[in-house]
Amino acid sequence: MPQVKKIYKMIFLIVIMVILYGVDSCVAQSEAPEPNPPRWAKQTNVITVTERPQGWRIETAASVYQIAVARDGIVIPVYYGPRGQPLQVRKANVNVSSKVGSHIREVPFRGGFIAQTPAIEVIFPDGTRECDLVYSSSEIFETDGFPCLRIDLRDPAYGLVVSSYIRVIPELDILEKWIVLKNMEKEPILIENSQSGSIWLPVEEYDLFHLAGLWGREFMLHRTLLTPGVTTIQTRDFVAHENPPWFAVTPSRQSSETQGPVWFGSLHYSGNWRLDFEKSPSGNVQIIGGINFWDTTWELKPQEEFATPKMVCGFSPEGMSGASTRMHNYIGQHVLRKKFRDALRPVLYNSWYATKFNVNEQQQLELARIAKEIGVELFVIDDGWFKGRNDAHAGLGDWTVDKKKFPNGLQPMIKKINDLGLDFGIWVEPEMVNPDSDLYRAHPDWVLHYPKRTRHERRNQLVLNLARKDVCNYLLESLSKLLRENNISFIKWDRNRPLSDVGWPDAPRPMQYEVRIRFINNLYNLIDELQSRFPEVLFESCSGGGGRTDLGILSRMDQVWTSDNTDPADRVMIQYGYSHTFPAKLMVSWVTNADWHKVSPSLKLRFHVCMSGVLGVGTDLTKWSQEERKLATEMIALYKKIRPLVQEGILHRLHSPFESNRAAVEYVSQDGSEAVIFLYNLWETLPGSTPTARASGAVRLRGLDPDANYFLSNDRSGRASGETLMNMGLPWFVQGNFNSAIVMLKKQTQ
Ligand code: DGJ
């Protein structure tokens, strides 16, 4: 009888426990098999260990990211969104039995029931194509001054360890996610897919914003409703004119430029990448991104590791504008090379549109002399200076000076340019080769190719196989020689075609499938090594315009040639899209005489458009009249005054050129004491356009001190309070098509 009593007592206790904890508890209860209890090395107030649910809570200034360990040992996403929301973790999510297994996973893998796009897909040596990744250990530590959480997952049946990292930049509401796979088997594991990270948004109707375009029309903003199923943005040939890796997801009809929640992100990767947005039938949205493993696998040898590039995820409660500011700050403070992070970018002159391939010393010196006269600081010779390069048919690959054009080499010309007081920069396209070059004649096997297939040319060039170490060594040594023998302070690194024929017949079979990933790793190493040899040289990324603009390249290249389209009307639109994720400090914009729409834009408009980024001049200066030179001199002097605001201030998009025939952007100093506003009138014929014959309306400014008075100068003078300028706005005083104005604001001090 005492035995029966004992049983009754136990049942009673269990009932009480269920009443107390069972209904709204989200914790794996005591009957759950213990998934190796977490041992936390160190806690910070940003990343905390939680008991209910058992897991981690990451708090940034405006967001919360919460993860839990479910009863079956699977690490599951719980919540990602604004702070202050009640956490509704469904018990079913954590209390799953190992027989069924968690379907929703923080690191989604191919194995068991799958309800998400997988991040990890591997084949084990015995042919098993599924894995099972359960919690094994974790650590909270600091890297580069910021807290980082590492969660190790292990496959119970095989020697595979998957470590998922989340590094937190709390004040920018940014998480960096990446994954490292380690093979503890005795034979290789084949990685078919390894994404960098995944996030899981609450049930909602969402719009996806992304950038897409073409050559000459880069960075166009697109918006699409996420419907059940998967929406993918990606590249498969390295070129990202169509698609720089960036996204912003907002609840439909709730968020705007200045209000509402926005989840945004990007990838630190310049190779093939993909971002998938999977909306489940129940309405949750998973966002997952990383390397695009299309036509790619990676053989992970015993004891070796494979690390994915970083995926960046952020949250803004202040609409798209807040998302842009966070990305701009992130790029400015955490991505760009430390050496040049805080340096203002120089006003440059580039000779491409003036002289094309037909370059010589006398003509470049004449351009440099006028460039100096109007206030330029850096003179760049573009394509055409190297051996055999008379047009786009020959020369790529032979990075020695063309002695027919420069009989004494480049250095005497550089010296004269330096003596004028200008720095000197040069164009290269190292990843490419023309079949008509000494390099190709000597090493036809150095290009990507399949032996029995056509070597497809684009712009008469083939792609060097940078997966090969000998190719990289050749490039490192020839570029080093160029930089050693000449006083070069700037490199414009171009890439003018997408990949094709991505074969590497000499490599062992598994390496042949790794060629794209190895190419990018080696490209990064090549640039890094060159920069460590020549630390003073500033680098610009170019790919037939803005075709290579991503966080991977931006951690190496200090600025970007935004587009070959320098027509000011188009440029306003390109720059508007660009500003959604990339800061003005990188956005190189040249004044030229391009007139793609045959509307004869004025020189003043051309300058005003370029002055909202990194100002450059790229036209034939010898053809400018004295008046034009005078105007250019004034504009460059004005730019130097507003440059700290443009390059280091906070950007506000005030009026979209896609909404009407006007556009306006504002840059405000970090303390709100100064601002500069650019107003542009474009076509009157656009739908919804405002007649430009008369000035009308106003544009509301942002980011000012409402209680202060501001002095207005340049194209508008006067005085107004911050409150008036932000609530009533600055009158839109610009009249006429293709006209523009710059207004400077300065806070009255007492
Ligand atoms: C493409 C670039 O976008 C141009 O600025 C110029 O550098 C040419 N290549 C040179 O071939």
CA-nearest residue for atom 2, ligand 1, is 544
Ligand 1: centre distance to CA 494 (Å): 7
CA-nearest residue for atom 9, ligand 1, is 544
Band of pLDDT at residue 691, cut at 50, 70 and 90: confident
pLDDT of residue 241: 64
Q: Reply yes or no on whether 295 is catalytic.
A: no
Ligand 1: centre distance to CA 545 (Å): 7
Average confidence (pLDDT) over 197-208: 95
pLDDT of residue 171: 96
Answer yes or no: is the C-beta of 289 below 6 A from any ligand 1 atom.
no
- Sequence-ordered list of residues with C-beta below 8 angstroms from that of 750, at least 6 positions apart, any chain: none
Question: Which residues in 129-245 belong to E strands, given as ranges?
Answer: 134-143, 146-154, 160-169, 174-183, 189-194, 197-201, 206-212, 220-225, 229-234
Ligand 1 atom nearest residue 392's Cα: 11
Ligand 1 site-directed mutation target among 352, 389, 458, most atoms within 8 Å of CB = 352
Position 308 pLDDT exceeds 70: yes
- SS3 state at 94: helix
CA distances from 486 to 223, 418, 490, 534 (A): 47, 11, 11, 12
pLDDT tens profile 148-201? 999 999 999 999 999 999 999 999 999 999 999 999 999 999 999 999 999 999
Measured distance CA(57)–CA(63) in Å, rounded: 10
Ligand 1: centre distance to CA 460 (Å): 14
pLDDT of residue 44: 56
Whether the CB-CB separation of 34 and 69 falls below 8 Å is answered with: no
Whether the CB-CB separation of 47 and 65 falls below 8 Å is answered with: no
pLDDT tens profile 411-451? 999 999 999 999 999 999 999 999 999 999 999 999 999 99
**Dihedrals φ, ψ of 225, to 5°?**
-75, 135
Whether the CB-CB separation of 652 and 725 falls below 8 Å is answered with: no
State the sign of the Cα–Cα–Cα–Cα dihedral 732, 733, 737, 742.
negative
Answer yes or no: is the C-beta of 496 below 6 A from any ligand 1 atom.
yes
Point out the catalytic residue in the list 494, 558, 567, 570.
Answer: 494
Tokens linked to 701: 């400014």
Whether the CB-CB separation of 465 and 504 falls below 8 Å is answered with: yes
Band of pLDDT at residue 690, cut at 50, 70 and 90: confident
Measured distance CA(694)–CA(23) in Å, rounded: 67
Measured distance CA(698)–CA(701) in Å, rounded: 9
Ligand 1: centre distance to CA 496 (Å): 8
| C-beta atoms surrounding 355 within 10 Å | 17
Mean pLDDT of the chain: 92
Residue type, 306: F
Nearest to 280 by CA among 207, 234, 208, 230: 230
Residue 715 DSSP label: S
Band of pLDDT at residue 129, cut at 50, 70 and 90: very high
Q: Which residue has the tokens 């999977």?
A: 278
Nearest to 185 by CA among 241, 245, 228, 125: 125
Answer yes or no: is the C-beta of 494 below 6 A from any ligand 1 atom.
yes
Ligand 1: centre distance to CA 142 (Å): 42
Percent of the chain with pLDDT strictly greater than 90: 86
Q: Reply yes or no on whether 494 is catalytic.
A: yes
Answer yes or no: is the C-beta of 386 below 6 A from any ligand 1 atom.
no
Tokens linked to 659: 């909404």
Point out the catalytic residue in the list 132, 155, 173, 564.
Answer: 564
Residue type, 603: L
N-terminal to C-terminal alpha carbon distance within the chain: 90
Q: Which residue has the tokens 């409660």?
A: 317
Please classify residue 17 by burial: count the beta carbons closer than 10 Å to its beta carbon, then call 0-12 exposed, 13-18 middle and 19+ buried: middle
Answer yes or no: is the C-beta of 542 below 6 A from any ligand 1 atom.
yes
